[in-house]
Amino acid sequence: MRQFLRAFFASLLALVVLLAVGAGIVVLRYGGETKIEDHSWLHIDLYGQVLEYDPPGELLSQVTGGDVLTLQQILENLAKAAVDDRIEGVIIQMSTSHSAGRAKLQEIRQAVQRVRAAGKPVLGYADTMNRHTYLLAAACDSLYLPPSAYVDFRGMSSSAPHFRGALEKLGIEPDLHVIRDYKAAAQLLTRDELSPAAERNRGWILDELWEMFCHSVQEDRGLTETQLIELMTHALFTAEEAVAAGLADGLLFWDELAGKLKRSADDHLRLVSHGRYAKEDPDDVGLKGGKKIAVVHAQGNIGGRLNGTHPLLGLMMGHETIAAELGRAAADDDVVAIVLRIDSGGGESLTSDLIGHAVAKAGRSKPVIVSMVDVAASGGYMVAYRGSQIIADPMTITGSIGSISGKFNLAGLYEKIGITHDHASRGPMALMDVSDRGFTPEEAARHADNHWQSFRAWMLDVALHRGIAVADIDSLCMGRTWTGRQAVANRLIDGLGDQHEAVRRAKLAGGLAEDANVTLWHLPERKGLMQLLLADEPTATQAARWAVHQALRRETEQALDLLNAELLITDPARLP
């Protein structure tokens, strides 16, 4: 008994110390925030990984590894800045070192336009610039570069690595059943190049993205497609050349930009960091309403029960987590509608279908407006199509209604490394999934038949929910990907727009006026540090997993950046 009490009180003391340390970290990191002065400028630094929403365990990750930049924080900060009398304007510092896809950049771009429409300037500042990031930069009132900035303004391309040769050398044989012609992901494992059908799909996507990019830049900077092609022929610009070509508006070092924005020579530039401004409550600047719209965020690879982080695969979307949040929103009397944000390239079909079922169930209580971000394809589309309405950015990639199923035959690899197997079985098909051989003809036929059965059920369900005739649905279910603009024309989605448009539609669907003030309730809710410290192990370990994933990602990116950077000293050919 004495030993038990000693262990109990030791554990209790350790917990008290841990909580005290945690509280101290929070006070040091989050306490004593400086007051935001009048005539301040919001500073957003678009750098590093840009997620759609907070990852699991994100607050603890901040304490241990720095802030995580999310699209939601950027959109909310820009919405607050547009109406906050203390904020005079916005500076968006950007470079090529960020992970935001085209649709994310387009959402930020549209939020920038709303800030400008409110009469506040938005300035862009970039130390490195490429065509991809220029989609956002062009939307700013002015764009400034330091004199030594790198400007890479080349045309669009699309490429993917094929691993067939590597797998052959390792003795690994993919034994896959693919539905259907355009389902290109499997071809990265089974072919040395894309099939003609998949190559055509890639061309269609590039044509769409090219047209939309040219239209946006002409609208913002007045540069025609002919002029853009001419600039891309030059490809690599000095900062001075970029200004002369009309891609940027001036050359300034950061301190010179700060000096330009000071109200007087004796004054200082009042900069408010993105992280500091994110702590300002939207309610305090009038972004509040009596009714709520729940915004449920579904991001990452689809698989498993709970949201989490895989050290190698990154964010994971689990069906129990998303279903619980949808149910929570549907049961709240103050919630008039739900916006489901999807940013996922797919994953496990079972998990995807279970989440899709939860979407349909929630939709019987409240309208569910699906809002697609960078990608909502394959399993991501399976999650989406049972929503009350579906909208996407014109540059969103969606569709990919197809399927890949099978296994890897590792017999050759086992032989190379000296591993042998023996099997005992009872009953037919018992060895169908063993890894030391491929499917037998009978197993392959049974596997393919089962795969087709599940796929046809999905195809017919898409036709039912989207109101598409069965005779017409087949051509849309060939595994082909579509831009958001193409998906509207094909009736796979209902319209185009960003989260702002999704909220507007949610208001109307929930019986409110489109200009009504509402409170956005983001789910899953961000956990406080104490909640994470007192959580069970599966929840608490998410922060550690996220930190490992971030560290691996950062180290890889930095190595690639160094390899691709201009060599100043280490290349002997460049020495004087």
pLDDT, tens digit, for every residue of 238-289?
Answer: 999 999 999 999 999 999 999 999 887 778 889 999 999 999 999 999 998 9
Pull the structure tokens for residue 267: 């004054």
Taking Cα atoms as reference points, which of 527, 479, 554 lies closest to residue 314? Answer: 554
Q: Give domain status of residue 549, yes or no.
A: yes
Q: pLDDT grade, residue 309 (50/70/90)?
A: confident
The structure's pTM equals 0.87
Q: Give domain status of residue 548, yes or no.
A: yes
- Least confident span in 9-13, 65-69, 354-358: 9-13
Is residue 54 within 8 Å of 315, Cβ to Cβ? no
Q: Give domain status of residue 76, yes or no.
A: no
Pull the structure tokens for residue 102: 């085209």
- Rounded Cα–Cα distance for residues 230 and 239 (Å): 17
Collapsing DSSP states into helix, strand and coil, what is residue 152?
Answer: strand
Cα 511-515-518 angle, rounded to 5 deg: 70
- Rounded Cα–Cα distance for residues 159 and 9 (Å): 60
Q: Please enumerate in sequence order all residues whose Cβ is within 8 A of that of 294, keeping only pairs 6 or more positions apart, or say none.
A: 325, 328, 329, 332, 335, 337, 338, 339, 521, 523
Pull the structure tokens for residue 291: 């009714």
Q: What is the pLDDT of residues 392-433, one digit of tens each?
A: 999 999 999 999 999 999 999 999 999 999 999 999 999 999
- Rounded Cα–Cα distance for residues 275 and 28 (Å): 15
Does 453 have pLDDT greater than 70?
yes
Note the pLDDT of residue 264: 77
Note the pLDDT of residue 310: 79
Does 375 have pLDDT greater than 60?
yes
Which tops the pLDDT comparison, 531 or 285? 285
Average pLDDT for 315-344: 97
CB atoms near residue 319 (< 10 Å): 24
Cα 359-362-365 angle, rounded to 5 deg: 150
- Asked if the peptide bond before residue 276 counts as cis, ω within 30 degrees of 0, the response is no
Q: What is the pLDDT of residues 78-126, one digit of tens each?
A: 999 999 999 999 999 999 999 999 999 999 999 999 999 999 999 999 9
Note the pLDDT of residue 576: 34
- Rounded Cα–Cα distance for residues 332 and 292 (Å): 9
**Type of residue found at 391:** I
Taking Cα atoms as reference points, which of 88, 168, 99, 176 lies closest to residue 132? Answer: 99
Q: Give domain status of residue 560, yes or no.
A: yes
- Rounded Cα–Cα distance for residues 191 and 183 (Å): 13
Q: Give domain status of residue 325, yes or no.
A: no
Q: What is the pLDDT of residues 17-53, one digit of tens each?
A: 444 444 444 444 444 568 999 999 999 999 998 999 9
Dihedral sign for Cα atoms in the order 424, 425, 431, 437: positive
Q: Give domain status of residue 544, yes or no.
A: yes
Helices (H), 341-440: 349-363, 379-384, 411-417
Taking Cα atoms as reference points, which of 73, 40, 36, 82 lies closest to residue 54? Answer: 73
Note the pLDDT of residue 538: 52
Strands 403-409 and 173-179: antiparallel
Q: Give domain status of residue 565, yes or no.
A: yes
Pull the structure tokens for residue 228: 């853009």
Total structural domains in the chain? Answer: 1
Q: Which domain holds residue 556?
A: 539-574
Q: What is the CA radius of gyration of the chain?
A: 26
Q: What is the pLDDT of residues 457-490, one digit of tens each?
A: 999 999 999 999 999 999 999 999 999 999 999 9
Strand order in the sheet with 150-152: 128-130, 150-152, 236-237
- Asked if the peptide bond before residue 311 counts as cis, ω within 30 degrees of 0, the response is no
- Least confident span in 16-20, 155-159, 511-515: 16-20
Q: Give domain status of residue 56, yes or no.
A: no
Collapsing DSSP states into helix, strand and coil, what is residue 397?
Answer: strand
